[in-house]
Amino acid sequence: MPSTEPIPTALLLTLCGVLLALSVLFSRASGRFGIPVALLFLGIGMAAGSDGPGGIEFTDYGLAFRLGTVALVLILFDGGLNTPLASIQAAIRPAAVLATVGVVLTAAVAGLGAHLLFGFAWQQALLLGAIVSSTDAAAVFAVLRGSGLQLKRRVGTTLELESGLNDPMAVILTTAMTLSLVGGAEPGWELVGGAVVQMVVGAGLGLGIGWAGRLLLKRLRLRAAGLYPVMTLALAMLAFGLPTLLQGSGFLAVYVVGIVLGNETIRYRTGLLRVHDALAWLSQVGMFLVLGLLVFPGALLDVAWEGLGMALVLAFVARPLAVLLCLLPFRFPAREILYTGWVGLRGAVPIILATFPVLSGAPGSREIFNVVFFIVVVNGLVPGATVPWVTRRLGLASNAPEPPPAVLEIASTQLLNGELSAFYIGSASAVAGERISDLPFPPGSAVMLLVRGQELLAPRGDTVFQPGDHVYVFSHSEDLPLLRLLFGQQEDE
């Protein structure tokens, strides 16, 4: 090994550490100034690039595509783990229509606008529309879960499900239009057939891998708790790789596997959720930093007019029109349709898709890449930065209580007959003002912790529940329905 080898490695790790730390520190400004956190990560990457003060030379589109794909796999898997099955049953039909028909309609209207308003050739215009047609799971999860927004259940779940399910259709459309540009062939009915095959194979293998993984994690006994996240990470990678090799949608399969595992009692479940949440955030930071490095800010100025115009077409025409046509049959109220149409957040997915035509050598692909990047940046501000305000303005914030400042959990590598449930005591709660000793708790159940404001209280028999309290109760699984009747709905439902 050359004696100089540690120096380049040390410089690389130092650089990565500085960029990650800056991203985390600057993310605090996201809530204060209303700037989406993903946009901050992109900005730091651009500042570190060759046109910025960082001066880092990076033009490897292939590496960016691979890193972005891995990051999206981890983000979608974490999103699936945190999606309750009850919410899916209420929102799967409108979300599925938005993820398929809605993507096609958005691509068509955006492509029409690119051709008529900005003079793009038809094939390039439709390619641009296809690239920006899907909402981005990373951006949607970051805004809806990372900003503390408490949305009405159906609206929030529809948006999250749509963002997790619509990548396959965007990939199919982008691939077809790229091949059309490179080879000159017009996409036809094979596009529809390919979409059906990808969806069916992806969903089918996702269910199969999820079911097998669920059985494995229930029966697998490992000495070290840290090995369980390694196994779930392996399942996530397998869920993307195997369906993709079989002409299916790996992104859809990963999301389905996450849902299957997240809605089942498995070993070390609490620890797994924590690990994958951290991996998803690391993936999001790293992905946007790399994509920021890939762009040259000077080149964005050359497409500023087209990028700004297309971002406005997407936000005010293409997305709202597609959502209106897709949700009308499901009788969504007007304000929910308006909100869903407005929160069409774009992020890393369009930028990653924009590398397809660049890697394929399609004519005009570099210009399309820069336009897409500009669209994502503008979309981060309009509508991205307005989401909290619009949520409150349309009255779509739920009445769910703020999460407690302290969380009590059971982390075990064994499957135990016991659960720790969290309940919030509202002013109308039946147990508000009651002493613990006066309540008919099932045998074997006990109040473990009471969080009142910034205080942690050890509950006693004479402790009186007050409105605003967060209560953690241990019980056996069969006693949980009775506790739900006693306290009301659980906090995580």
pLDDT for 9-21, tens place per residue?
888 889 889 888 8
Tens of pLDDT along 322-374?
999 999 999 899 999 999 999 888 888 899 999 999 999 999 999 999 999 99
Once rounded to an integer, what is the mean pLDDT over residues 315-325?
Answer: 96
| Integer Rg of the chain from CA | 24
- My answer on whether omega of the bond before 383 falls inside 30° of 0, hence cis, is yes
Per-residue model confidence (pLDDT) at position 451: 92
Q: For the chain, which domains are there? A: 28-393 (1.20.1530.20), 419-487 (3.30.70.1450)
With a CB cutoff of 8 Å and minimum separation 6, the contacts of 455 are none
Banded model confidence at residue 242, pLDDT cuts 50, 70, 90: very high
Tens of pLDDT along 209-240?
999 999 999 888 888 888 999 999 999 999 99
pLDDT value at 245 more than 90: yes
Q: Which residue has the higher pLDDT, 321 or 453?
A: 321
The string of DSSP letters for 340-409 reads HHH-----HHHHHHHHHHHHHT-TTHHHHHHHHHHHHHHHHHTTGGGHHHHHHHTT-B--PPPPPSS---
Once rounded to an integer, what is the mean pLDDT over residues 393-420?
Answer: 77
Banded model confidence at residue 28, pLDDT cuts 50, 70, 90: low
Per-residue model confidence (pLDDT) at position 320: 96
Quick one: tokens of 435? 């002493």
Are 311 and 375 contacting, i.e. CB atoms less than 8 angstroms apart? yes
Tens of pLDDT along 69-108?
999 899 899 989 988 887 788 889 999 999 999 999 999 9
Tens of pLDDT along 186-210?
666 666 777 788 889 999 999 999 9
**How far is 212 from 76, CA to CA, in rounded Å?**
19
| Cα 251 to Cα 163, 201, 293, distances in angstroms | 11, 11, 24
**How far is 70 from 134, CA to CA, in rounded Å?**
18
Per-residue model confidence (pLDDT) at position 190: 64
User: Mapping DSSP to helix (H, G, I), strand (E, B) and coil, where does residue 475 land?
Assistant: strand
Per-residue model confidence (pLDDT) at position 147: 58
The overall longest dimension of the chain from CA atoms, in Å, is: 79
Quick one: tokens of 90? 């209420």
Q: Please name which of 115, 109, 158, 116 lies closest in space to residue 130, comparing C-alpha atoms.
A: 109
Q: Which residue has the higher pLDDT, 216 or 38?
A: 216
For β-strands 446-452 and 419-424, DSSP reports them as unpaired
Q: 490: exposed, middle or buried (C-beta count within 10 Å: 0-12, 13-18, 19+)?
A: middle
Per-residue model confidence (pLDDT) at position 31: 55
pLDDT value at 145 more than 80: no
Per-residue model confidence (pLDDT) at position 188: 60
| Residue 431 φ/ψ, nearest 5 degrees | -95, -5
For β-strands 455-457 and 446-452, DSSP reports them as antiparallel
Per-residue model confidence (pLDDT) at position 487: 86
Average pLDDT of the chain to the nearest whole number: 86
Q: What percent of the chain has pLDDT over 70?
A: 92
| Cα 394 to Cα 147, 345, 388, 465, distances in angstroms | 18, 18, 10, 34
Type of residue at 80: G
Per-residue model confidence (pLDDT) at position 255: 92
Q: What percent of the chain has pLDDT over 90?
A: 40
